[in-house]
A and B are shown apart, each in its own frame.
Chain A
């Protein structure tokens, strides 16, 4: 019984990081109705930024977190102008294809550079033991940082003028433009924020697990599951969706072979899309 509890707690810790990744995806969807299929590639960028900073420059692992937030923001604004700006307001097919093209380019460059062999960053954090069960220090720290970053995003969105502008553009872009909000800049900034969130969650994931250039796809799919659980375009729901996914993974692990867990996840994903297209945790009516 306690074994299951320990596995559930660990699932929740990891789930908070999934939630952070999904917040990036859902923020971009909410503001500009674009599903960012380069999401997984950006998670991988975050992983390799950690690897480069720690192994090449010798920075402490968690020092990479603020670096990645800034870098991710800059990369995001760059990607917005390269691939997303011309897609705003056009059929969804176009922005899906365009962000997927960005994904292919990023993954292709990464494969050429780092190949597809696994990488690992050794992070030393003291673990917490309780009744013979150990909770890994890196998991606890990553979850705590994820919650802190999510809180900062909340403050930014709901307690600053910039956040108000982002929310205004998300609600009605034309009306926001009429009120004098430079909507194009706001869109670019929101995309930058979304990418920064995805990237930093990649950095946090890399402190916990080994990774390859191709790991992004799995985390991208997890982010989809989470956003669908939490409701697309709903950042608070994303965090809860992430924790729910972690909980499900934690609950399922003791009872079934590991190779069956993706089936549960994708089954849940398709089921939720059909049954609850607005998300389980979305309380507002669209």
Chain B
């Protein structure tokens, strides 16, 4: 699979992305790129559900938040190093998603979408009432926690590089899944679940597997992101609005493609940054995002990349 130029393109883009703020030493740029990288992770893993399997997960942020909580708990209470803590968080959330997926993925279409909203809200309320995780106030990191990474200043750079690495892993995973038997099964489920099942795709198992797979990297990213922020609280960790924004990003870039969600996430984050700083627009950020989603859904359901593919069919072969 390493013969495909597309993969080298992803790796090269990731290297530029990681090193550019490092060499220009531009901290503001790094923060903006870091947020964009987190959105790319969320969007590209959500795309496994929406774009491949055709299931809308409105509560995708629950993975990110839970991963963050587990990681910060391990770092503060048990004094783990952040890397194993984030990976443990990812594995735990992924395992939980697998268990849960076997239950709620029996639901089809709209029922599943509703259940995911319920899951997100239920877990948020549970965390609010869970004292070891700080209840409604959340968990704070002390500055000592950054010691193993060489102090707070150095830790910010290190977490940035780690998050870019997770972003790259997300894109590569999207690619690998897309070109595997598993991925083809998912695409078949997305087109017609009954037909796929008749043709021998083990639909319940594949759906639970993709639900679990789409949980792992966002949970790791959540651990790293909230470690970098130094604080996690229920309302920011399980923000339903971020979940929805991730859906907008997937649709903007083109669901079902590999590069599309990443492109959508990056563009959306830049647009949002512009709207937040522009005085006259800052209040209307939500309105503009909503109007954008409405226009995409109604007129270009394939998103940016889908539109390019339709306009220039030859691009399908190398732009995935």
Contact = CB atoms under 8 A, between A and B. Distances in A.
A binds B: yes
Interface stretch (B24-32, B123-131, B158-166, B264-272): B123-131
Interface residues of A, number: 43
B103 A274 contact: yes
Contact of A273 (B111, B126, B289): B111
Contact of B106 (A29, A224, A266, A274): A274
Contacts of A107: 286
Interface in B38-72: 50, 54, 56
A224 B118 contact: yes
Contacts of A259: 125, 128-129
A221 B244 contact: no
Interface in A104-128: 104-105, 107-109, 111-112
A277 B115 CA distance: 11
A102 interface: yes
A273 B104 contact: yes
Contacts of A273: 104, 107, 111, 114-115, 118
A228 B114 CA distance: 10
Interface stretch (A93-101, A180-188, A190-198, A240-248): A93-101
B251 A97 contact: yes
Interface centre among B118, B128, B286, B288 (most CB of A within 10 A): B118
Contacts of B129: 257, 259-260, 263
A277 B297 contact: no
A273 B107 CA distance: 8
Given A263-B122, A263-B126, A105 B54 contact: no
Nearest to A221: B121
A253 to B, nearest CB: 16
A108 B284 contact: yes
A111 B284 CA distance: 9
Contacts of A260: 125, 129
Contacts of A274: 103-104, 106-107, 115
A92 interface: yes
Contacts of B284: 108, 112
B114 A94 contact: no
A102 B288 CA distance: 11
Nearest to B106: A274
A93 B54 contact: yes
A262 B121 contact: yes
Interface string B278-293: 0000011111111111
B125 A269 contact: no
B155 interface: no
B113 A270 contact: no
B142 interface: no
Interface in A218-243: 221, 224-225, 228, 232
Given A93-B50, A224-B114, A108 B290 contact: yes
B244 A270 contact: no
B240 interface: yes
A277 B107 contact: yes
A82 B294 CA distance: 9
A111 B286 contact: yes
Given A92-B109, A92-B113, A224-B114, A98 B283 contact: no
Interface of B: 50, 54, 56, 103-104, 106-107, 109-111, 113-115, 117-119, 121-122, 125-126, 128-129, 240, 244, 247, 251, 283-294, 297-298, 301
28 contacts: A29-B110, A86-B298, A93-B54, A97-B56, A97-B247, A97-B251, A97-B293, A98-B293, A98-B294, A98-B298, A101-B297, A105-B290, A105-B294, A108-B284, A108-B286, A109-B287, A111-B283, A112-B284, A112-B287, A217-B240, A225-B118, A228-B114, A259-B125, A263-B125, A266-B119, A266-B125, A267-B122, A277-B107
Closest 4 CB pairs of A and B: A104-B290, A108-B286, A108-B287, A266-B122
Given A108-B284, A217-B240, A266-B121, 14 more contacts: A35-B113, A83-B294, A93-B50, A93-B54, A97-B293, A100-B247, A101-B297, A104-B286, A108-B287, A108-B290, A228-B114, A260-B129, A269-B115, A269-B122
